[in-house]
């Protein structure tokens, strides 16, 4: 039997969502809670797609009043402007050009700002050519955000349905948990699709409807 009596503390998140603290992310949350008392100017969160690291970064962004940008396309000309922020989130940091990233890191440290980086892999697994950049990245705290487990995905499903003023039976939740990917994106997608299908059909969300949605039948009607 899957236990559906979830008791996770809530954490404000960007938009109207709440962030749920669970074993897979509690270490990352504790590090973000230490800000601005980090041991250095930067911190890196890493984990696979769907683990919630970008969500966590947005939680910190709201708290720190940070700017946010993708590392993709970062140029040397961009760096002086974005380094003026007292706090900055840089998503997909492993995809940044090395010299602009090193320049950004140095400027933020010089100005006593804070930089939160997100990446799929830890810096030790990046192909870094610049020794100075490698040494700086390997010196900062690097925190893994693990994929959400079944309990957290179940809690997220309950919350996402509740946000839409929908109460679903336990058998529907059990059915979904055994069939969807364990990611925040998958949970959000299935809740949206089920809500849309139930409204279109004028019926409650049941296991047969969930089966139709997951098999793509309801989306085609």
Residue 4 lies in a domain: no
Domain harbouring 127, CATH code:
3.40.50.300
Same domain, 17 and 124: yes
pLDDT higher than 70, residue 11: no
As a whole number, the mean pLDDT across the chain is 89
Selected residue with higher pLDDT from 55 and 204: 204
Among 127, 144, 161, the domain boundary falls at 144
Residue 1 lies in a domain: no
More confident residue, 64 or 21: 64
Give the chain's domain count.
2
**Residue pLDDT, tens place only, 96-112:** 999 999 999 999 999 99
**How distant, in Å, are the alpha carbons of 3, 27, 89, 123, 159 from that of 69?**
39, 24, 6, 19, 28
The answer as to whether 3 is a domain residue is: no
pTM over 0.85: no
Residue 179 domain boundaries: 148-220
Which residues neighbour 186 within 8 Å (Cβ) at sequence distance 6 or greater?
A: 50, 153, 180
* pLDDT reported for residue 12: 44
User: Angle at the Cα of 26 (from 23 to 27), degrees rounded to 5?
Assistant: 115
Same domain, 114 and 136: yes
In a domain, 5, yes or no: no
In this structure, of 30-39, 68-77, 153-162, 211-220, the range with the lowest mean pLDDT score is 211-220
Give the pLDDT score at 218: 52
- Please state which of the ranges 12-21, 31-40, 70-79, 116-125 shows the lowest mean pLDDT: 12-21
DSSP, residue by residue, 18-38: EEEP-TTTHHHHHHHHHTT--
Instruction: Tell me: do 36 and 132 sit in the same domain.
Output: yes
The CATH number given to whatever domain includes residue 175 is 1.10.8.60
Whether residue 119 sits in one domain with residue 53: yes
* Strand arrangement of the beta sheet that strand 142-144 belongs to: 67-70, 87-91, 114-119, 42-46, 142-144
Cα–Cα distance measured from residue 120 to residue 144, given in angstroms and rounded to the nearest whole number: 9
Is there a single domain that holds both residue 70 and residue 135? yes
Predicted confidence (pLDDT) at residue 1 exceeds the cutoff of 70: no
pLDDT value, residue 205: 96
Single out the residue in 109, 128, 144 at which a domain terminates: 144
Considering the domain architecture, whether residues 166 and 124 belong to the same structural domain is answered as no
Same domain, residue pair 137 and 182: no
pLDDT tens digit string along 23-71? 889 999 999 999 999 999 999 999 988 788 988 998 899 999 999 999 9
Last residue of a domain, one of 144, 166, 186: 144
Distance of alpha carbon 160 from alpha carbon 165, whole angstroms: 9
Average pLDDT of the segment spanning 120-143: 97
Whether residues 103 and 169 share a domain: the answer is no
């Amino acid at each position: 039997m899957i236990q559906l009596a979830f008791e996770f503390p809530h954490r404000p998140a960007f938009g109207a969502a709440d962030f749920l603290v669970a074993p897979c992310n509690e270490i990352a949350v504790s590090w973000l809670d230490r800000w601005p008392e980090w041991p250095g100017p930067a911190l890196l969160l890493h984990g696979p797609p769907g683990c919630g690291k970008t969500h966590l970064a947005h939680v910190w962004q709201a708290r720190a009043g940070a700017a946010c940008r993708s590392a993709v396309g970062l140029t040397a000309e961009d760096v002086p402007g974005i380094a003026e922020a007292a706090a900055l989130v840089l998503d997909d940091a492993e995809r940044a050009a090395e010299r602009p990233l090193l320049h950004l890191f140095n400027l933020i440290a010089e100005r006593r700002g804070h930089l939160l980086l997100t990446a799929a892999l830890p810096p030790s697994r990046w192909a870094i050519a610049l020794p100075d950049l490698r040494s700086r990245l390997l010196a900062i705290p690097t925190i893994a955000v693990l994929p959400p487990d079944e309990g957290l995905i179940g809690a997220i499903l309950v919350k996402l349905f509740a946000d839409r003023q929908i109460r679903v039976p336990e058998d529907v939740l059990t059915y979904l948990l055994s069939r969807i990917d364990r990611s925040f994106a998958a949970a959000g997608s299935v809740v949206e699709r089920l809500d849309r299908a139930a409204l279109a059909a004028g019926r409650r969300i049941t296991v047969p409807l969930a089966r139709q949605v997951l098999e793509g039948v309801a989306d085609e009607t």
